Structure 1
Amino acid sequence: MDVVNVDVERHAVAEAHLKNTTIRHIAWKGVTVTVKDRETKLPKEILENVEGIVEAGEICALMGPSGCGKTTLLNVLASRPTGAQNVEGEVLVNGSKPSRSAFREMSRFVEQEDALIGSLTVRETLNFASRLASTSSLPKKERVARIDGLLDSFGLREQASALIGTPVRKGISGGQKRRVGVASQLITSPKILFLDEPTSGLDSAASFEVVNYLKGVAKRNHLIVVVSIHQPSTAVFNLFDKLLLLSAGKTHYFGRVSDVGRHYESIGRELPLHVNPAEFLLELVNIDFSQNRNSASDQLDELHKAWTASPRAGDLMAAVDEVARNGDRTVTLERAEKKPSIPSVILTLLHRSFIKSYRDVFVYGIRFAMYIGLAIMMGTVWLRLEATQESIIPLINGIFFGSAFMSFMAVAYCPAYLEDYLQFVKEKHNGLYGPTELVISNFLIGLPYLFLISLIFSAISYWLSNFQPTALAFFTWVFWLFLDLLAAEGLVVFMTSLFPSFVISLALVAFANGLWMSVDGFMVQPGILNVFYKYVFHYWDYQKYVFENMMINEFAERTYSCASVGDGCQCMWQTELADQCLIAGQGVLDQYGYAPGHMRKDIGIMMGIIVGYRVAGWIVLKLKK
């Protein structure tokens, strides 16, 4: 009995936070969306004068054939970018149009393919979602109780400690992921929830499971739920309170699901017995596969006209107009909870990234393995080079290889950052945090790992290759390699933010690194480098400063013996030490135009480049809609 009481108490605490607002309904009036036709380049309406109203506690389905405008309407209702040329109409909450920030505070959106971090457990996913939202201000005990209540409500208690799943580690099922996606939004205390195809890819049993949970949560907590859905089963279809049926961007029905049969019966299109009503309705308004398109289009227009002339359409227009006339002047959220501060969000993101960094091998594990393999290969190819003139060119090649290819292999970070980017897009749209928190936390989490990579790589390759054998020279090498990796990772963040596609970002980062290799001073010495590449790319090429200072670190204070020829010697580089049968390392540097004494300036430039890439990534994230 005590256990039951504890579960009931958890359930009550988990849902109490959803009942402290005055939101009663959401309505949309005259929603019309116009885009530019790809073929004719003329304006084309993909939504035309769509109206509807959903009360608190109701779950509404947006249904229609592919391309009918479901997702576009859902984005309009959720105040998200549509990419349209023109959007008209009003979306009203309690009869008033809230500000964008207020609407984001009260609503959440669950994508068709919801971005979840695969290396987190189900409980951790809900916990971090809670910490990023206003619920972070609650005592830890109450926040845990809310999470436990949602786990129980969504049937996820047994999976609480299971991973979401990564490409190399199997996680929970597709239906369970959908429920986690919804639960992670509910934990942030929304009052309006939008879902894009939440049953896509699920079998009928899993689909029923997801929608049934949504219906229960909506009823218990007076939550408004709007769902786009493609082809639900009869059982799933009957779970919805209201239906908006679209075809070619026009309304063909809006009202209670229980009344849809009577409406079509009144216009001579009676729903047949023992047939899934959703399938019948979709076939009725779908003309994509009609042999006679003109005739089918005419029939579709007749169905639309029948709807607009029906009493239900008139009642809907009157209800929406009444809501607009008598709406509240403001939409209030009676919250005792505050949104977390920027430092708090950064710490939460750091914690989440830290867990991901050691669980997901694609973040740093594979990179550690690659860099260790590269270090062993480099150390054994450039093995114990003596301080002779024959080793000078191999040492220069080794410096270039060690710095340039370490930078190049930062492309392996693309998939890990892409997952963070997709998570950020979802959480930004839901008003949880912005690009500042992402960029700072992403930079900070990489610092210890990149330094450790630099240290391990250098500890293996530096001494095997027999570069300048002093502790100062070794740690100088480690320091420049660390700056090299920081800049390279900043380039990955910038390029992937600009083009969030794995293939495109990978290609662009690889191309950029190839360019930096070509103009860093190794392939073509700075003194004879093409003027265009020298002044356009060379001076802000981070590999240039790494290669130059590694060269100075190796050659500035080291001497190399010349080759013995009979009783004398022959030196490949003529320096002031030639009479001693030695080559001063500065003679090698002179060929490149390198001289010691400006390391501080070069460090400052490198810091500027590192910060510059992060700022450029921040600007991209800030400007993107």
Structure 2
Amino acid sequence: MNDLISSVFGDPYITLHCASGECLHKSEIPGYDAPQRRRFTTGNFLTIGAVFLVCGLVITWSVYSVGKSPLFSLSGSSGYTSGPDEHNPLSQNFTPATFSFKNVSYTLPNGAKVLNNIYGMASPGQCLAIMGGSGAGKTTLLDILAAKNKRGTVQGDVYVNGQVLAPSAYKKIVGFVDQEDHLIPTLTVYETVLNSALLRLPRSMSFNAKVSRVTEVLNELRILGIKDRVIGSNFDRGISGGEKRRVSIACELVTSPSILFLDEPTSGLDAYNAKNVVDSLVKLAKDFERTIVFTIHQPRSNIVSLFDKLTLLSEGDLIYSGDMINCNDYFGKNGHQCPLGYNIADYLIDITVDHKKIIPDTDVTREWEHFAVHRDEYNYQKVGDSSENGEELIRLNTKLPQLFEESSFGIELRREIQELADDPQELQLEQYMLKRASFPTQLSILSSRTFKNLYRNPKLLLTNYVLSLAVGLFCGFIYYDVSNDISGFQNRLGVFFFVLALFGFSSLTGLHSFAQERIIFIRERANNYYHPAAYYLSKMICDLLPLRVLPPVILLSIMYPLIGLTMEHNGFLKALAILVLFNLAIAIEVLIVGILIKDPGTSTIISVLILLFSLLFAGLFINSEDLKAQTKWLQWISLFHYAYEALAINEVRDLILREKKYGLSIEVPGAVILSTFGFNVSAFWNDIFYLVGWGCTFVVLGYVFLHYFTFERR
């Protein structure tokens, strides 16, 4: 009995020393009248109304802040006229750069060699195309030249005006456009490019100057006319594929990089849009002295004619590197004359791809006529026989890498690269070293961008609010005017368990949200848009406030008075605090799973298992006193346990439950039943502390995992 008293009052010095019949519960004293249920007062409703008002003010302030954010305050040109020092934004903060590389090799962790001593060169105003068949190493070479993180071993030298730059300085003067366009679908073209400008241009540069630069870039890429159209997605129609590609280029070009790398900029585009994209790149190179380097796979002849330089690869070996105009003559002199009317790009791919073909003993098809005439230019070997007529299966390996290595073109190119390295040109890097947007500015822009995304795609937001409203009304109807008896006790515990399960599994929506943004975050982080902490905090602010705080307020404000739950000792505010803390902590816990596991399906099933096991140890399905020592720790890490116990204590601890059966009236303190269920009735504030502690722990772990596990690996 003294243990029960201690658990109820929280004071071990309050004890009873009773002989038989001396100690009675107050309800057994003759003349005792059970307290009547307190109905909701005007003050109670004012409290709930005040909570609603505060939430409404927060929403209004958030919407206003988004509208006033510099990222969205303008829809296009601000009417700003550039001053003399800002007349041509594309020419500001820019140094023409001669780009060269030599002896570039790459070996995978398993020892396989992907690239073997590749070298090449491109000057300002030139476009260098990297070509080759599938698996030739084009993208791998481009990644290495752009200083991307690689899993294997990289060797070789990359020069800018003959200098080998430190990685931090090198990344500031180059831009990289990935093969896939990863853009936020709800933003407009203008907002997307302005986002890049505000985050990456020097903080000392005026806002109007940044807007002017964005407008100029859009105009040069011929997408200024669609600046107010949304990007769109697979489900919501937006701009075309070619326009998306030019938006991606604009996001990099707005920072005025000296060297721009692009991975297959024409991939997935029709012939017309592919030509437009390459035309834009050539114009940028010629008009603004950019050095453009890109990979491309079997372009049309009218696109090939635009190339200044060509680097041709075959299974990691260099077949040709030099002027595009000399390419046909070089291969013609070495026995590989491109037929008249044949696309030179297709022909080059044909002669560089490693083939396996059946060659008859007595005849050779027209396709392999060159092999029959120029057998000395090939390494070939018999790898099998045809079972039908004695035909040989021949594997052809051209000597083209060795031919170029020993040719005058290869020798001259290596000499030029070495001369430039021996006598490097001065490279002005001061303008690239200017500080970019501050951390608060990054946080403001990213938060505004995320709120804008929610505002323009409100399905998830509205679903959460409508669901909270509907569930609040449903629970209020099902448990309306709950009684103060044993069944009422059961109903109270039931509704708390249901609400916790609802919010727990609703947190799974965070997995889908982060899965959609993961690749965007990785690409933007690799291109130095912002610090990962700024992105993480913006996700916390924009996800937690509208999706994890407001839904519990809506649900509880409707359900609480309808059911008739306790308002004594600020019961409503305490219950609201418990639900909000639980919802925040469980959402971040699920987000951690999404950060660690890339695949959405796998992360979902893992999260569901975590929630189910946490739910199992909440205190309803198994009594904590029956847990063995080996499994007791599972209750300590269960967020459901702390929230469920705190809600039950807040509601039931001070209740006197009256049960009438067979003409008998039994009154039992709620604390007694809670203790019977294995709850510690004096652990309310302890549970609150653990909810806060676990929430803070998950916030820290989430950032650690985001910072160290979510980055670009190629």
TM over 0.5: yes
* Pair 1:34 & 2:107 matched: yes
SS in 1 for 2:319: strand
CA distance in 2, matches of 1:105, 1:201: 29
* Pair 1:364 & 2:431 matched: no
SS in 2 for 1:532: coil
SS in 2 for 1:137: coil
Structure 1 stretch displaced more, 466-475 or 125-134: 466-475
CA distance in 2, matches of 1:80, 1:381: 59
1:472: how far off?
2.4
* Pair 1:153 & 2:220 matched: yes
Aligned to 1:40: none
In 1, are the aligned partners of 2:484 and 2:656 still within 8 Å (CA)?
A: yes
* Pair 1:500 & 2:631 matched: no
1:423-465 per-residue CA deviation (whole Å, 9 max, x = no partner) reads: 2211211122222111122112234212111111222333444
Residue type matched to 2:118 in 1?
A: V
Aligned to 2:705: 620
* Pair 1:438 & 2:535 matched: yes
SS in 2 for 1:590: helix
SS in 1 for 2:668: strand
In 2, are the aligned partners of 1:407 and 1:485 still within 8 Å (CA)?
A: yes
Residue type matched to 2:101 in 1?
A: W
Aligned to 1:83: 151
1:208-258 per-residue CA deviation (whole Å, 9 max, x = no partner) reads: 111111221222222222111222111222222211111111111111222
Distance 1:336 1:194, change over 3 A: closer
1:349-395 per-residue CA deviation (whole Å, 9 max, x = no partner) reads: 11111111211236534433444444444444444432221132232
Aligned to 1:64: 132
Structure that is richer in helix per residue: 1
In 2, are the aligned partners of 1:11 and 1:146 still within 8 Å (CA)?
A: no
* Pair 1:351 & 2:419 matched: no
In 1, are the aligned partners of 2:80 and 2:208 still within 8 Å (CA)?
A: no
Distance 1:275 1:460, change over 3 A: farther
CA distance in 2, matches of 1:97, 1:363: 49
Aligned to 1:326: 423
CA distance in 2, matches of 1:130, 1:546: 45
Distance 1:513 1:261, change over 3 A: same
CA distance in 2, matches of 1:294, 1:484: 69
* Pair 1:285 & 2:383 matched: no
CA distance in 1, matches of 2:317, 2:84: 41
In 1, are the aligned partners of 2:203 and 2:438 still within 8 Å (CA)?
A: no
Aligned to 1:264: 331
SS in 2 for 1:119: coil
| RMSD of aligned Cα (Å) | 2.6
Structure 1 stretch displaced more, 605-614 or 343-352: 605-614
Equivalent of 1:514 in 612, 623, 631 = 612
In 1, are the aligned partners of 2:300 and 2:345 still within 8 Å (CA)?
A: yes
In 1, are the aligned partners of 2:100 and 2:160 still within 8 Å (CA)?
A: yes
Structure 1 stretch displaced more, 198-207 or 357-366: 357-366
SS in 2 for 1:300: strand
1:168: how far off?
4.3
Aligned to 2:266: 199
Distance 1:48 1:179, change over 3 A: same
1:560: how far off?
2.6
SS in 2 for 1:62: strand
CA distance in 2, matches of 1:429, 1:11: 34
1:130: how far off?
0.9
Residue type matched to 2:256 in 1?
A: S
1:329: how far off?
8.0
SS in 1 for 2:162: coil
Higher Cα Rg, which structure? 2
In 2, are the aligned partners of 1:384 and 1:464 still within 8 Å (CA)?
A: yes
Distance 1:32 1:541, change over 3 A: same
Distance 1:531 1:189, change over 3 A: farther
1:303: how far off?
1.8
In 1, are the aligned partners of 2:285 and 2:291 still within 8 Å (CA)?
A: yes
Structure 1 stretch displaced more, 132-141 or 459-468: 459-468
CA distance in 2, matches of 1:396, 1:602: 17
Structure 2 runs not aligned, ≥5 long: 1-78, 360-379, 383-392
CA distance in 1, matches of 2:187, 2:488: 50
The normalised TM-score by structure 2 is 0.79
Residue type matched to 1:611 in 2?
A: C
CA distance in 1, matches of 2:136, 2:646: 61
1:592: how far off?
3.6
1:207: how far off?
0.8
SS in 1 for 2:176: strand
Distance 1:482 1:166, change over 3 A: farther
Structure 1 runs not aligned, ≥5 long: 1-5, 38-42, 570-580
1:49-84 per-residue CA deviation (whole Å, 9 max, x = no partner) reads: 111112222221111111111111111111111222
Structure 1 stretch displaced more, 375-384 or 505-514: 375-384
CA distance in 1, matches of 2:84, 2:338: 40
Question: 1:90-169, aligned counterparts within 5 Å?
Answer: 90-169=157-236
Question: 1:559-578, aligned counterparts within 5 Å?
Answer: 559-566=656-663, 568-569=664-665
Residue type matched to 1:73 in 2?
A: L
Aligned to 2:7: none
In 2, are the aligned partners of 1:132 and 1:340 still within 8 Å (CA)?
A: yes
In 2, are the aligned partners of 1:520 and 1:544 still within 8 Å (CA)?
A: yes
* Pair 1:172 & 2:229 matched: no
SS in 1 for 2:339: coil
Distance 1:10 1:398, change over 3 A: farther
CA distance in 2, matches of 1:448, 1:82: 38
Aligned to 2:409: 312
* Count of residues in Structure 1 that have an aligned counterpart in Structure 2: 601
Residue type matched to 2:571 in 1?
A: A
* Pair 1:525 & 2:593 matched: no
1:27: how far off?
1.6
Equivalent of 2:558 in 429, 451, 460 = 460
In 2, are the aligned partners of 1:63 and 1:246 still within 8 Å (CA)?
A: yes
In 2, are the aligned partners of 1:130 and 1:143 still within 8 Å (CA)?
A: yes
CA distance in 2, matches of 1:220, 1:533: 70
CA distance in 2, matches of 1:14, 1:116: 29
Equivalent of 1:607 in 677, 685, 692 = 692
1:405: how far off?
2.5
CA distance in 2, matches of 1:510, 1:447: 20
CA distance in 2, matches of 1:470, 1:196: 65
SS in 2 for 1:113: coil
Distance 1:563 1:239, change over 3 A: farther
* Pair 1:555 & 2:652 matched: yes
CA distance in 2, matches of 1:221, 1:530: 73
In 1, are the aligned partners of 2:476 and 2:562 still within 8 Å (CA)?
A: yes
Distance 1:586 1:298, change over 3 A: same
